Each structure stands twice: as structure tokens, then as C-alpha cells.
A = this chain, B = another copy of it.
Amino acid sequence: MKTPARTGPPGKIKIMTAFSRLMETKDFQSITTAEIAGNAGVTEGLIYKYFTDKKDLLHQVLHQHFAAFQAGIEAGIQEKQTCIGKLEAIIFASLDSYTHNRVLARILLLEVRNSLSYFESGAYAMVKIYARTILDIIREGMETGELRPDMDPFLLQKVILGAIEHTCLKQVIFDKKMDVTAAAGGIVDIIFNGVKHHGCH
């Protein structure tokens, strides 16, 4: 999955591309500006022409990847009529994106959380929109009667997000691939139908 910077001066594009490539295999902290510049074929100084910070670079790259992610999600929802269908679509699209876009997954699942500056960044705003979208669908479902009305919608939101993230965590850390369709289907089944067994009567 490529996510090239399509805009801006050549130097900026080169830097973002190189950084993105590095993020596929290394963690943020261990990537040095020298390494980025070297891989991009530019000088270290140029990084600070286009980014205020190393972290700013991370945020901009995340922003870029996240835009594609968000677009995919919204495309998936559009066609669906029911809330359950929409949530299924989101779960599938999320797993799919995390699976096929390693950089996105690494940043979102590993890097971003312990950085306070992230939560002040524009990148975080996008994630909030994503989370909010889920929450809105849940609320809508509870109103329309598709979903049980006696739940804390925030909690369901967290269960869904947690399920998505934890499912992807292992593959990101240990660099494995998973069967997205099966995983998405299984998660949907568990969360929507519950796991308690109802004996036949």
C-alpha cells in the first residue's frame, strides 16, 4: 500500500516518503533525522524547512495515511442501510486498513499513545472523528431499535475499538498477516450476538 505525498515541493515529498518507508520496519524513536535525510537523498537541514519538528513529520505522515483510511471507511458505510451493517463495514474496513497499511497501524497502535503532543495535533482530531462516527452510528442504532437501548453507547464504542485494535496488535508487533474477512466476521458475531450459549428449548 503506497501513500505518497502528492503535493508540495520535491524535497518535502522525498522526506515524507522516506520516513514512511522507515516507519514500516522501525519505531519512531529509533529513526534518526540523519537516517531520514539519508534515505530521502536530502540534507538534514531540509527537514526543518518543511516540518517544525520530527514529531510534526510523524503527524503529517499519519495525517496523510489517515485520510486514506477515513475515506475507505466512509465509502464502506455509504452503501449500508442498517446501523449494524455500517458497524460491520467499519470493523471490516478498519481491520483491512491496519492489515494492509503497516505504517498506519504502527503509528496508531504503537507510537502515538505515549506522546502528549499527539493529542494536541491535527492528526488526533481525525481519530476523534473516526471514533465519533462509530459512536453516532451506535446511538442511531439504539434509537431505531436495531441495538439494545439499555447500553452505555460509549462502552460499546470502546469494545468495538478495543476489539479492532487488539486483533491487529499482534500482527503489527510480530509482523504477521491475518484473514481479515474471518476476523471481522468473528468480531461482529461476538459483539452483536453475544457469546452466551442459549440451549435449545
User: Which A residues contact B (CB, under 8 angstroms)?
Assistant: 27-29, 84, 109-111, 113-114, 119, 145-149, 151-152, 155-156, 158-159, 161-167, 169, 173, 182-183, 186-187, 189-197, 199
Contacts and interface: CB of A to CB of B under 8 A. Distances in A.
Given A159-B191, A162-B162, A194-B195, 20 more contacts: A29-B29, A29-B114, A84-B196, A110-B113, A110-B114, A147-B197, A148-B193, A148-B196, A149-B197, A151-B195, A159-B162, A159-B166, A161-B162, A162-B163, A162-B165, A191-B191, A191-B194, A191-B195, A192-B195, A193-B194
Contact of A183 (B155, B165, B189, B190): B155
Copies of the chain in the assembly? 4
26 contacts: A27-B114, A29-B29, A113-B169, A113-B173, A145-B199, A146-B197, A147-B195, A147-B196, A148-B195, A148-B197, A151-B186, A151-B190, A152-B182, A152-B186, A155-B183, A155-B187, A155-B190, A156-B190, A158-B166, A159-B163, A161-B162, A162-B165, A165-B165, A190-B194, A192-B196, A194-B195
